[in-house]
Amino acid sequence: MKLLNLFQSEEALVKACQKGDPNAQRRIYEKYSSKMLGICFRYAHDDYEAEGIMIEGFVKVFEKISTFKLEGSFEGWIRRIMVNESLMYLRSNKKNQFETSYDQILFEPEPEQFRTDLETQDLLKLIEKLPLGYRTVFNLYAIEGYSHAEIAKQLSITESTSKSQLSRARVILQNAVMEMA
């Protein structure tokens, strides 16, 4: 019998994993690893680092799976672990040198409305090119849905620095998109 057919529902898969079933662990890894690698890559920007973060994240998933109460999205729970693991990696490697404070921005161009046929993959490639601080805050705010207060706490920066990082990231992305159009 194929591994895919061993678990009839996500709940059964999680319960089996909570009991330490290695087949369930393998199935969870197979089911979610590609999505989670994408999340880690958005923060690490390097294949090797992203894969290392993802593996550490899955270790944490399996260590903490007993705390998942089968309420809410299991994928969302895993995603949160991966984001936190990515942020811990950035902090521990002191790579999160945030470029500027909001108070230091003297001129901030107004965002312009534009139409483009930009594909999701094209936008992700543009995001990858952002400086690390801008990219991290942009990912947390625009993609993961964190507030500036949450970002500031996670990254040990001020809310104004988070706002400035997001603002500058948007300006850079907007200029890059307009160049492509």
3-state SS of the chain is CCHHHHCCCHHHHHHHHHCCCHHHHHHHHHHHHHHHHHHHHHHHCCHHHHHHHHHHHHHHHHHHHHHCCCCCCHHHHHHHHHHHHHHHHHHHCCCCCCCCCHHHCCCCCCCCCCCCCCCHHHHHHHHHCCCHHHHHHHHHHHHCCCCHHHHHHHHCCCHHHHHHHHHHHHHHHHHHHHHHC
Burial class for 94, CB neighbours closer than 10 Å (0-12, 13-18, 19+): exposed
Let me know whether 88 and 106 are in one domain. no
* Alpha carbons 47 and 23: distance in angstroms, whole number: 26
Average pLDDT, the chain: 82
* Of the residues 74, 92, 110, the one at which a domain ends: 92
Let me know whether 69 and 111 are in one domain. no
Let me know whether 88 and 7 are in one domain. yes
Least confident of 39-43, 157-161, 173-177: 173-177
Residue 168 lies in a domain: yes
| pLDDT score for 24 | 93
* Residue 178 in this model has a pLDDT that exceeds 90: no
Let me know whether 83 and 112 are in one domain. no
**CA angle centred on 122, ends 119 and 123, rounded to 5°:** 90
Q: How many domains does the chain have?
A: 2
Residue 97 lies in a domain: no
* Of the residues 92, 124, 146, the one at which a domain ends: 92
The residue with greater pLDDT, 98 or 85, is 85
* Residue 123 in this model has a pLDDT that exceeds 90: no
* Contact criterion met (CB below 8 Å) for 166 and 138: yes
Residue 155 lies in a domain: yes
* Contact criterion met (CB below 8 Å) for 116 and 179: no
| pLDDT score for 85 | 93
- Residue 107 domain boundaries: 102-180
Let me know whether 28 and 63 are in one domain. yes
Let me know whether 116 and 88 are in one domain. no
| pLDDT score for 100 | 46
Sign (positive/negative) of CA torsion 99, 47, 140, 135?
positive
| pLDDT score for 149 | 92
CA-based radius of gyration for the chain: 19
Let me know whether 169 and 115 are in one domain. yes
* Of the residues 59, 92, 125, the one at which a domain ends: 92
* Residue 9 in this model has a pLDDT that exceeds 60: yes
pTM above 0.75, yes or no: no
Let me know whether 121 and 170 are in one domain. yes
Let me know whether 115 and 162 are in one domain. yes
